[in-house]
Amino acid sequence: METARDLFVLEGYQHVTMRQVAKSLGYSHGSLYYHFKNKAELFYSLVVKDFGLLNETLDKILNEDKDADVENKLKRILLGYIEFGIRHPNHYRIMFLIQDDDLQNALQQEPNLTYEKLASALHTLCGSKVTPMIVWSLFLSLHGFVAHYCGHPEQTYEDVKGMAEAHVSFLMKGLH
Amino acid sequence: METARDLFVLEGYQHVTMRQVAKSLGYSHGSLYYHFKNKAELFYSLVVKDFGLLNETLDKILNEDKDADVENKLKRILLGYIEFGIRHPNHYRIMFLIQDDDLQNALQQEPNLTYEKLASALHTLCGSKVTPMIVWSLFLSLHGFVAHYCGHPEQTYEDVKGMAEAHVSFLMKGLH
DNA sequence: ACTCTATTTGAACAACGGTCAATTAATGGA
DNA sequence: TCCATTAATTGACCGTTGTTCAAATAGAGT
């Protein structure tokens, strides 16, 4: 899985072949199918594991500085989501963007869980001031930012950080 | 191209094979390569052509009722973008979502032109009240909505119309 | 009829994901 | 140590894909 991840992070789901992974390991490509049902399941298991980092990040922000400025925390939550997506474009693509039947079957409801995590964070921070509809809009707007820059992975998070902050500021204006 | 479009609208870029298109036409698959450099170029030319509909829609909204309520027009522009994307998910995917080297080469700057169209419409309506950064955020937020529902094409525009209106309302709150 | 170009054909290629019978390695008990 | 059972690996094989290309055919103009 580590070998697969290295290739995957570098080249993306579509470009990495099972034969490549096997060759990097010094194994035959047939052996991979003894451990994983298919290509989708191999990379899916990677992505789910690594998405734990996003959950951790969101939790960390929520739990530190219990009485800190809510606005600031909210901003960091939203920016945290964007940063994770842009720093792991191939992971994000598998989770939310790639259209593939095997992948859809493997993913099941993992994307939903990620959304629920973000939604509950927003609810914790803002209480009932934000309706479910607004949370959904907020998520889709963050998603749009990440989805776009996932298609331009030559731009690092540092490159787009300013834009991300402006985007988040824009979105937060819709919360009042 | 019409034959290709019918298949393409129904099944999407990845699922339509050159052999399928040729068979539907009663031709051999090799002949397609006399007219189009590759698969990407064939479907790209389709999509660019059909995207003209979006431009027309935006122009139509801009030009009718010269003195109508700006807020209302703006709302219809943003909704128009969403509606086009959701009614033509496969077109939208090719233009903005699919990751494919041949496709990227074929697309060149067509996606940019679509964005410019929307941006200039917003600028015409709102003047200098909206900064380029806000226009960009607005676009990315619309994009997020469309991108998400492009992954769930079983939902028609009618199904998500209410959500789209709520999303647009949310975004417009960020303009004041 | 002949020539030149436009078009079509289908075999061939390389690469892919995936399958599977055969083989080899590892394990644990007698 | 031997053996039986399981775990793991192999590589040939399949069907499908996008793409190429020499050869065949069709069409148009002279």
Tens of pLDDT, residue by residue over A105-158, are 988 889 999 999 999 999 998 888 899 999 999 999 999 999 999 999 999 999
Q: Provide CATH code, domain B41-175.
A: 1.10.357
Q: Rounded to a whole number, what is the distance in Å from the CA of B59 to chain A's nearest CA? A: 24
Residue A143's closest chain B neighbor by CA? Answer: B144
**What local confidence, expressed as pLDDT, does residue A102 receive?**
93
Distance from residue B150 (CA) to nucleotide D4 (C1'), in Å?
56
Which one of B86, B141, B161, B163 would you mutate to disrupt binding with A, by most A Cβ within 10 Å of its Cβ? B141
Cβ of residue B109 closer than 8 Å to a chain A Cβ? no
Q: What contacts A41, CB < 8 A, 6 or more positions away?
A: A102, A106
Mean confidence (pLDDT) of chain A? 94
Cross-chain residue pair A170–B134, CB shorter than 8 Å: yes
DSSP of B127-156: GGGS-HHHHHHHHHHHHHHHHHHHT-TTS-
B75 burial class (0-12, 13-18, 19+ CB within 10 angstroms)? Answer: middle
Q: Provide CATH code, domain A39-173.
A: 1.10.357
Give the number of beta-carbon pairs within 8 Å between A and B: 91
How would residue B174 be classed by pLDDT, with cut points 50, 70 and 90?
confident
B101 burial class (0-12, 13-18, 19+ CB within 10 angstroms)? Answer: exposed
Percentage with pLDDT > 90 across chain B: 84
Tens of pLDDT, residue by residue over B115-143, are 999 999 999 888 888 999 999 999 999 99
**What local confidence, expressed as pLDDT, does residue A22 receive?**
98
Distance from residue A23 (CA) to nucleotide D13 (C1'), in Å?
19
Q: How far apart are the first and last CA of chain B?
A: 45
**What local confidence, expressed as pLDDT, does residue A127 receive?**
86
**What local confidence, expressed as pLDDT, does residue A64 receive?**
84
Q: Which of A70-74, A85-89, B51-55 has the highest mean pLDDT?
A: A85-89
**What local confidence, expressed as pLDDT, does residue B47 receive?**
94
Distance from residue A155 (CA) to nucleotide D4 (C1'), in Å?
59
DSSP of chain A: -HHHHHHHHHH-TTT--HHHHHHHHTS-HHHHHHHSSSHHHHHHHHHHHHHHHHHHHHHHHHHSSTTS-HHHHHHHHHHHHHHHHHHSHHHHIIIII---HHHHHHHTTHHHHHHHHHHHHHHHHHGGGS-HHHHHHHHHHHHHHHHHHHT-TTS-HHHHHHHHHHHHHHHHHTT-
- Does the pLDDT value for residue B175 go beyond 90? no
**What local confidence, expressed as pLDDT, does residue B68 receive?**
77
Amino acid at A109: Q
Q: Which nucleotide is nearest to A30 (CA to C1')?
A: D10
Tens of pLDDT, residue by residue over B62-81, are 888 776 788 999 999 999 99
Distance CA A124, CA A100 (A): 34
Q: Rounded to a whole number, what is the distance in Å from the CA of A29 to chain B's nearest CA? A: 24
Under DSSP, the state recorded for B37 is S
Q: Which nucleotide is nearest to A14 (CA to C1')?
A: C16
Residue B142 near residue A144 (C-beta atoms within 8 A): yes
How would residue A69 be classed by pLDDT, with cut points 50, 70 and 90?
confident
Amino acid at B154: E
Percentage with pLDDT > 70 across chain A: 99
- Which residue in B161, B80, B77, B148 sits closest to A138, CA to CA? B148
How would residue A4 be classed by pLDDT, with cut points 50, 70 and 90?
very high
Q: Which nucleotide is nearest to B25 (CA to C1')?
A: C8
